Structure 1
Amino acid sequence: MPEVNDAPAATIPAVLEGGPTDLPPTVRRLRVPADDQKVKIAHRGGYEHFERDTPPLPGDTAVVFYWTTRTKIAE
């Protein structure tokens, strides 16, 4: 459990590529903790999974996460 004085993790801009075509553009641009390697987005009764690409090139403003799979929410 985080301590009261712990600073929040630094976040960076990220872009989600691939996956369902109906995933809204507003969901495809987000901020994630700098060390995250995976992102999971709830969508249409399941989760869309994205994995981080290589580190961004100098001058790039966002890290790219590419779609890898979809899982259903357990009932």
Structure 2
Amino acid sequence: KRKREVDFVIAKNFSPIALIQVIYASDKVEEREAEAIIEAKSELKVEDAVILTWDYEGEIKGAKALPLWKWLLSDTV
């Protein structure tokens, strides 16, 4: 709607099941990056939304923020 984009949409049987946004941030996630994934999460009715960062970890408006290395070693989407 607002010309925002999400980097990756993971689908199963052509239905989105997870969203991934990748940013190069160490301690601060830009508002527009967080808003894009939250808007897509709501529109697509997806539960899992992950923001992959350089080293920031936390939760941003309902999306889990994780450092890339930690996400790569996990067994989740």
TM-score by length of 2: 0.29
More strand, by proportion: 1
TM-score by length of 1: 0.29
Compare relative contact order (CA 8 Å, sep 6+) and give the higher one, 1 or 2. 1
